[in-house]
Amino acid sequence: MNKRFSVKIFAGITCLLLAVGLLVFAILRVFMPKIYTDETTEEIAKNSETFAIELESAPMNEWANMLMTFCVINNTTAAILDEKGNEVAIFRYTVTDNVDFGRTDRDVTTYTFTVKTDTPKPYTMVFYFDNEPVEKVENSFETMFPILFIVILVISLFIAFFYTRFIVNIKNLQSALEEEKRRRNFFSAVSHELKTPVTILKGELDGMILNVGKFSDRDRFLQEAFETTEAIESLVKEIMTAAKLDTVEISPEEINLSETANECLLKLSELIKEKDIKIKQNFSGKPVIADKKLIAIVISNIIGNAVKHSPIGAEIELEFNEDNELSVCNHGVETADDSFDSGGMGLYIVKSSLDMHGLKYSIERSDDSVKFTVFFRT
């Protein structure tokens, strides 16, 4: 179980980290070139306005040198065109760039200005952003992808390994604490259950040995002592059953709870008849999947507890509804208390068996009834 749990945690964390790493890589691959292009274009557009102002106050024979300096600084190709579209000055930042500045279907940045002369003519500066750096960035992502994938995978495996060990250690610690709690509950239940019959037996035997008072009628109290011994023997069997629960392997199968309850009632038929207890049954739920032997022990303990702690002529109601809730309610109880609530062996066996199945239960008390409910999964 722990090995399967570790493998699931390791595989899950690895896949999650790998997915996150690849997602980050994909986001960078898509948005970095775009962000670089947008920021560069915006910067060129901003600088071109200042540059145009400088051109207005400079001789035209210096425009070519000024344009070259501007293009080198801003990593762009640009041209200055007159009103007829003729090139007055041009600088191509890359040798392979054959930009046709006369075309208007190209995504370029333009700025129109007028030189302040006696015959003012409009001039247009056209800036074309060089895509080569962007292409290099995109190509570098594609080149680095296998390497980055391996790095992301190794980091994911590394983190998943140590995280899995941490989770498993926490789980083992929790299991150890739960096991220790179960041990304390077990010994507490054993002590609680054995204390009363052992005390009674000791008192009866002590009285008969001393031959005092009512205990002088030894034949009567020997019979009572024998019955007490039988009760202790039955309790020891329950303790042995409880002690073996931790080693039981659950074998789930389909169970008809109505049949299981009737089998338990049949075993208790003599006591039910002796106490004149009325049993009402209402089973409408579907069969459940669980370990048949353990659930039989659970139901036997719950019904047996209800019968033993109900007064003569009481009514016990057994119900299994469509929500897969099995409830046993004993009406007419003089005090709303029973061995389950007082932490006896019965509760320990029931709780341990239900915990092994991952099932929850509840105990509801009123002035004259106790209702025990088990919530089976639908």
**Domain residue extents for the chain:** 2-134, 250-378
What does the pLDDT read at residue 217? 74
Instruction: Give the mean model confidence (pLDDT) for residues 71-78.
Output: 80
pLDDT tens across 278-298, in order?
Answer: 999 988 878 888 888 888 888
Task: Could you please state the CATH topology (level 3) that the domain comprising 2-134 is classified under.
Answer: Beta-Lactamase (3.30.450)
Indicate the class that CATH gives domain 250-378.
alpha beta
What does the pLDDT read at residue 67? 85
Residue 66 or residue 84, greater confidence:
66
In three-state form (DSSP H/G/I as H, E/B as E, the rest C), the secondary structure along the chain is CHHHHHHHHHHHHHHHHHHHHHHHHHHHHHHHHHHHHHHHHHHHHHHHHHHHHHHHCCCHHHHHHHHHHHHHHHCEEEEEECCCCCEEEEECCCCCCCCCCCCCCCCCEEEEEECCCCCCCEEEEEEEECCHHHHHHHHHHHHHHHHHHHHHHHHHHHHHHHHHHHHHHHHHHHHHHHHHHHHHHHHHHHHHHHHHHHHHHHHHHHHHHHCCHHHHCHHHHHHHHHHHHHHHHHHHHHHHHHHHHHHCCCCEEEECHHHHHHHHHHHCHHHHHHCCCEEEEEECCCCEEEEHHHHHHHHHHHHHHHHHCCCCCCEEEEEECCCCEEEEEEECCCCCCCCCCCCCHHHHHHHHHHHHHCCEEEEEECCCEEEEEEECCC
Mean pLDDT in the chain?
77
Instruction: Note whether 2-134 and 250-378 share their fold.
Output: no
pLDDT at 146 over 60: yes
What does the pLDDT read at residue 264? 87
